[in-house]
Structure 1
Amino acid sequence: MSLILLVAFLTSTFSHLTSQIQHNASRMSVFQASLSVAILASTVGTYLGLLNPNPKPPQQPGDPDERHHHHHQKQAPPQQHADSIRWMLLTHKHTPKFVLLPLALLSLHLAALSYYHPHIPPSVLGHGAQNGLSASLTTWSASTLLPLSAIFLAGVPLRLGPYRSLGKNFTFHLTKPDQLKTTGIYSRVQHPSYTGVVVLVLSNVALLARLDGVLSCWVAPGWHEGLRAVQWVLGPVACCVFLLGVWTRVREEERMLRAEFGEKWERWHASTARFIPHVF
């Protein structure tokens, strides 16, 4: 339902922008319109890439099948393995919604800034003029082309591809799969979905979280100056914490797979890259 509402909301916004383009074609750049659409589409793609394809079914105490299911899960070996993602509540069905709320808001605002550029109304610009909103983030440039390309060409495919390939075995909570997948993309790389999530997160940060970008329209000048003074410390620290979290989850998954599949996993692990073929 949340996905339907999101798509409907972004579709409505896209329809509005399209209508405005038709009525203001003489002063509206096609390039600016395409950037606005690309920004909105990247948000939809990011949401799809963060959505749990197999959320844990709700408990139904009166359902015999549910009782059998929970009894089986209780006895299953994978439940004994560490699962930091579940511990941090990142497997909760509502987590993607909370992640998306600020992302969608910033994306819609950046799409509007790009749409109106270079004649951005004060109501849309906010504090951007005082804080030095960069035109490189409201026009087609390396600052927008690179993160958008990474989202569309790497981030989204590397998430949705494994969703489809693994099917019911792709879960956010650590669960033993019914088989060790070693074909398709998994014949070349062990953790494509983690590569995808890193690309999605870092690309969206580059597009939406720069202090000379859409955030400059929201932050009061006094606070903006303070944030600029510490951004080169907070940014790398946040990035390291995120990457450490991903690495921790990868190691937990590998320990579980080694315990469950033994020598078969060892051979596959030794012959394929973790994240990037022939690189890492």
Structure 2
Amino acid sequence: MSKRPAPPLPERLAPLIDAHTHLDACGAQDPSADGGASVAAIVDRAAAVGVGRVVTIADDLQAARFAVAAANSDPRVYAATALHPTRADALDDAARAELERLTEDPRVVAVGETGLDWYWPGRLDGCAEPQVQVEAFRWHIDLAKRRGLPVMIHNRDADADVLRILAEEGAPETVIFHCFSSGPETARACIDAGYVLSFSGTVSFKNARGTRDAAQLVPAGQLMVETDAPFLTPHPYRGAPNESYCLPYTVRALAEIRGEDPVETARATTATAERVYRLA
């Protein structure tokens, strides 16, 4: 838990959609339990600064159940469900059946986050091995195609393999690279394939040169923004707790990098999110 205080509310910037957050990890309680109003409290704080809608993401089955419950408890919340690649060894028959069921909920707007993570194997006890991650990724791609949903990609140190598997499997109509943190070469490959690139607070970090260069290349129609809260709080609050209300900090940093008016960036990213998640 961060010892830094939470960032202050930024100046309002609207309209915005937080394309990827983790409300449960931000402290929200299950809406069916006592204290469930904290989902609304988090979204209220976001709405006060122009972030009118959020997509809360699953990384395990408990989080998937929570995401669907949260999305059904508040009309400003939508859900994505999957098993995170580092937890892919939990994708047994029962987990597959439950994810199949959860993705039938109309409040689920994407399958995610799934993909490949080559950073944690060997560093994190219990992390799924690479071949297990690959098999789970292929299954999630298939699920997204069968449901007609976007697939939301977690990619860490696995650029070539992620792009290869998407090509081998045949990508769903919509592919979202969440928290895009690669460089211009991978960005160009994604853009050429028609994929959507979503940028988090990482793009505001001065040492993230490759990501900042990549952000300048993305057409407005393939660009989204996210917090990945409670992680990746944007500069100058790096290391402090993150939440959806912090998104305007990231958008203003992204707009500066792209040479745009922040209002223009906000409108463009919102239009992309509405189209991708079919919210309009």
Instruction: Note whether the superposition's TM-score is higher than 0.5.
Output: no
When Rg is computed on C-alpha atoms for both structures, the one with the higher figure is: 1
**TM-score (ref. length: structure 2):** 0.22
Larger relative helix fraction: 1
TM-score by length of 1: 0.22
Relative contact order, higher structure (CA 8 A, sep 6+): 1
